[in-house]
Amino acid sequence: MAGNQEKSITVKTAAEIEIMQQANRIVAGVLSLLQKNMRSGLTTMQMDKWAEEYCRDHGAEPAFKGYRGFPGSLCISINEQVVHGIPSSKVKVREGDIVSVDFGTRYKGFYGDSAVTIPVGRISEENEKLLTVTREALERGINQVRVGNRISDISRAVQEHVEKFGFSVVRQFVGHGIGISLHEGPEVPNYVQKQASPRVLDGMVIAIEPMVNVGTHKVKVLKDGWTVITADRKPSAHFEHSVAATADGPLVLSRREGET
Ligand code: MG
Ligand code: MG
């Protein structure tokens, strides 16, 4: 889930980061499960049920369920939907769709948060490119999570990579610090802002989450109050990892097994 509110910045101890790694491993397990089982005809409600079940079976709570009234455990956003899509028993994914799934857990008082966009069967070349570029942009952002850097170094790495391929980054929603709250400071925008940006601190944990559009960066929210779609209805992709800044460099807490 992406934030859009200013919150205070905290740093975590090594022991707290260890707990956050456990919270994020459960998130990664859910996303891997969805990647493995994604197929045409699957309802988004079925995916939500699998996610919640896996999460509770592993001793965690689904973080998004009830968050400001969000009805699902999983945010599922298909094609032109950017983020925060609501699971439904009436919506089935189809061959050629790109399905962004965003999941969060609460475990031993700490949050985990990660997202991936999954293709259903064969997808268009343009969508293939969109997924590759968004995934790469996330990795470039992660590589800037170095003590002494500024958050804007992350933003710049993401933005430059995305725009090199003619795609655009969403501005209305941003990444965020994460810890004992789902959304903490600092904000982690996917574009460079004019104002001064905070330093990356040892022990800071942030969720970096590029939301990348084929067309305009502009988005709007549907009448359900949640689902964010692109203003031009062109496709959008979303990849997210929770990352700790350590003296040894970035530590990706939500890495999935076998992720490339
Ligand atoms: Mg998320
Ligand atoms: Mg997030």
Query: Does residue 162 form part of some domain?
Result: yes
Please tell me the distance between residue 150's alpha carbon and the centre of ligand 1 in angstroms. Answer: 22
Per-residue confidence band for 101, with pLDDT thresholds at 50, 70 and 90: very high
Residue 232 Cα to ligand 2 middle (Å): 24
CA of 1 relative to ligand 2 center, distance in Å: 4
Report CA(240)–ligand 2 centroid distance (Å).
Answer: 7
Residue 7 reports pLDDT greater than 80: no
Q: 183 alpha carbon to ligand 2 midpoint, in Å? A: 7
Residue 66 CB neighbour total at 10 angstroms: 12
Check: CB of residue 219 under 8 Å from CB of residue 172.
Answer: yes
Residues 225-250, mean pLDDT to the nearest whole number: 98
- Total domains present in the chain: 1
Percent of the chain with pLDDT over 90: 95
Looking up residue 104, the CATH number of its domain turns out to be: 3.90.230.10
Task: Give the up-direction half-sphere exposure of residue 161: CA atoms within 13 A in the CB hemisphere.
Answer: 25
Q: Is residue 8 part of a domain?
A: no
Ligand 1: centre distance to CA 2 (Å): 6
If you measure from the C-alpha of residue 148 to the centroid of ligand 2, how many angstroms do you get, rounded to a whole number? 23
What is the residue whose two structure tokens read 């996917």?
Answer: 190
Q: Relative to the alpha carbon of 3, which ligand is closest?
A: 2
Percentage of the chain lying above the pLDDT 70 cut: 97
Is pLDDT of 10 > 70?
A: yes
Neighbours of ion ligand 2 (CB under 5 A): 1, 113, 207
Q: Nearest ligand, CA of residue 239?
A: 1
258 inside domain: no
* pLDDT at 6 (0 to 100): 60
Cut 0.95: pTM above it: yes
Closest CA to 211 of 194, 228, 233, 199: 228
pLDDT per position as a tens digit, 48-67: 999 999 999 999 999 999 99
Say if 259 falls within a structural domain.
no
**Ligand 1 centre distance from Cα of residue 3 (Å):** 9
Q: What is the per-residue pLDDT across 144-183, written as a single tens digit (0 to 9) for each?
A: 999 999 999 999 999 999 999 999 999 999 999 999 999 9
Structure tokens at 153: 């170094």
Preceding peptide of 186 cis, ω within 30°: yes
Distance CA 237, CA 123 (A): 13
Report the separation in Å between the CA atom of 103 and the middle of ligand 2, taken as the mean of its atom positions.
9
Residue 86's domain comprises: 14-251
CA distance 238 to 102: 8
Residue 3 lies in a domain: no
User: Binning pLDDT at 50, 70 and 90, where does residue 89 land?
Assistant: very high
Query: Domain for residue 40, yes or no?
Result: yes
1, part of any domain: no
Under 8 Å between Cβ of 27 and 115 = no
| Residues ≥6 apart with Cβ < 8 Å to 194 | none
Ligand 1 center to 29 CA (angstroms): 14
In a domain, 149, yes or no: yes
pLDDT at 1 over 90: no
